[in-house]
Structure formats: structure tokens, C-alpha cells
Amino acid sequence: MCHNHHVHHHVRNPICCIIPPHMLETLAMRGDKRTRSMAQALMKQNAEVREERAAMPLAPSAMAAAAPAPAAKRNLKRAIHDGGKKVGLPGKLVRSEGQPPTGDKSADEAYDGAGVVYDLYFKEFGRDSLDNAGLKLVATVHHRANYNNAFWNGEQMAYGDGDGRIFRTFTELSVVGHEMSHGVVQFSGGLLYRGESGALNESFADVFGALTVQRKANQSASQADWLIGKGILGANINGVALRNMKAPGTAYDDALLGKDPQPYHMDFFVNTTGDNGGVHINSGIPNHAFYLYSQLVGGNAWGKPGKVWYDALQTINNSTATFNDWARETMDSAVNLFGLGAMETLYLRRAWKLVGISV
């Protein structure tokens, strides 16, 4: 979701944006006139998009489902639209499944990225699309003019082009993986977009955004940079990405954007009413736990660590889960996969302990 709203159904059906509200608030406070009005317009748009979303019926995904059998057959269906810089979704269809590249960089990146994300979930976890039932992957590029955001609205992806100054692209692969993974969370019973469960929702999306990039590049956990939104910041912004799972709190430190507020340990947990209770801030803690676990296990993070996280999401059946609930669920998942005394299970306990959570 893109800005504070304290109405329950908005939290049930969130618009999951890549740019956190705390960043927009800082831009509105510190920016020049142009930047201020951009940030304020973005907050306002986000509220409008949420109003529309709240009026939609709740997706059936909100009902917890038993983990279905792994999908047998690859069933990838993509539909990329050009929003023409307008507000309406989805816009004009420019590339359907199997069609050749359009030559429009954003459209082709959204198309390719959706395929990479589909393959991660299908080949590694036996999941057929976001809903595990072959959901068509619909995306809109060139959404609104100079729009500094990307989001999953419960039904489709939308990517702005950025303003070219503060943000330069939103079809970067970790962003695509992050936003589509919000769909996976939604169709796996959901995690309420507020407080710790909301931070877990954000963290799951970051974890699988990072895994999307790592698997595509065939990088081991130790080779990867663990950055979310790498390359989307403008040339003059002092930062490398939106978030850094390896070192939360260090992704950017900029006169305009402010300093990355993410904690890496429970000792630094941020209590705030903003950002739906800090969903984009405290997600640094479970993000870092996953990073540490992947380092301890070694090899490819989408292998054993990814399986533990994916399975935990399928079995937790608790939309208001806390960090402790999630840590326990991942432990159960590890015990189930590897056994109680296995190194993979002991490493997981250690990773949680290193971020201040005892399981």
C-alpha cells in the first residue's frame, strides 16, 4: 500500500507499491517545488488507487487454501499493455504470450521479467503462476506520466517510467519479482498489510525479488548483491538501491531521499504509525534473517532457503502472523524438509537468533 490509511478493508486489499511512503514523505519535505508537488501528487494518487481497490470484492485468495499438488505443466500466459501515460488500466495490449519483442524496452522487460518470475516459482516450487492455477500475468507499462512507482493491485502489475531524475526505471527485475510475489502472498492466504504481518508480506516480496535476480544470473548466495531496486535510483541520488538485504539501513543516504531507515535486528525495531506500522521499514529484520540463513547454508539461495520460506508461506495460515510466528513456521518447514538435527535446521535457528528472534 502506498500511504497510511487506517480503514480495515484497505489493509485487506492493499495496493502494494515498490516506493515506500516514508520516502515520499521525505521527498515532500525536502524537495524543491517540483519534487514536493510530485511526491504529494503520488501520495494522493496512491490514496485514489486504494479507494478503487477497496471497492472491489475481496479476491478468493484471502481464503486459506490447502497447499495444492505441484503443477505438472508449464502454463505461462503473459499480456503486456501500454498505458500511454494515462491513468486507466490495463491500456492497449502490445505483447501477448509468444509474440516477438516490441522494441519498447519497458514492455519487453516487463514481458521477460514476468517469464523469469513464473519460471522461478514453477521450476523451483512447482507453482503454476501467482495463484497456482495458471493466472494470466497482466502488466501495464508507461502507467501515468513520469510516474515514480510500480505496484501490484490485486489483479495486475503496473509500472511507471519514473521522472528520470529521482527514479529512472521500474521494470528492473528485482522490482518485477517483488511486485509479482505480492500476488503469490495474496493467493497463499495473505498476510495482513499492517505491522509485523505487513512487514512479513513486504519481506517475502523482497526475498523472492532477490531470488528472481539471483536465479536468472545463476549466482550463489555469497556472489549475490542482495539489492532490491538496484539501478532504479536517478544518477544524482546517493544510493545503490531501495533496500539492501545484506546490510539493511545502508541502501541509500541522500540529501533528498533521506537515509535508509531499515533495521537489521529486533533491538532497532521501528515503532511507527506511518507506512501501515512500518511495513517497508521493519521488513529489514526478516530480510536479513533470510540473507544470513542463505549465507550459512551456502550454494543457491533459491534452493534450500527458498524452499523453507516458500513452504512456510503455504502452511502458516495466519494472516496476522508476527515475526515470531513466522520464524517458528520457517523452523517447522526446515524440520519437515531436513529433520530436527540437520545443519539446515540449526543454521536457521542461528540466523533468527542473529537478528534477535529466538525460536
Domains and CATH numbers, the chain: 8-186 (3.10.170.10), 195-354 (1.10.390.10)
Residue 169 predicted with pLDDT over 60 = yes
Q: Would you place residue 53 in the very low, low, confident or very high pLDDT band (cuts 50, 70, 90)?
A: low
Note the pLDDT tens digit of each residue in 95-151.
Answer: 999 999 999 999 999 999 999 999 999 999 999 999 999 999 999 999 999 999 999
Mean pLDDT of 264-276: 95
Residue 179 designated active-site = yes
What spatial distance separates the first Cα and last Cα of the chain, rounded to whole Å? 30
Which grid cell is 3?
500511504
- Which comes out higher in pLDDT, residue 72 or 345? 345
* Candidate list 179, 196, 202, 329, residue with the active-site label: 179
Name the nearest CA neighbour of 251 among 212, 206, 294.
206
Report the SS3 class of residue 2.
coil
265 is catalytic: no
- Among 47-61, 174-188, 210-224, the range scoring the smallest mean pLDDT is 47-61
Handedness of CA 121, 122, 128, 129 (dihedral sign): positive
How many CA atoms does the CB half-sphere of 176 hold within 13 Å?
Answer: 27
pTM, 2 dp: 0.93
Give CA–CA dist 49/33, Å, rounded: 24
Residue with cell 501515460: 85
Q: What is the pLDDT of residue 304?
A: 98
Q: How many CB atoms lie under 10 A from the CB of residue 142?
A: 22
Q: Which of 5, 280, 329, 344 is catalytic?
A: 280
- 58: DSSP letter: P
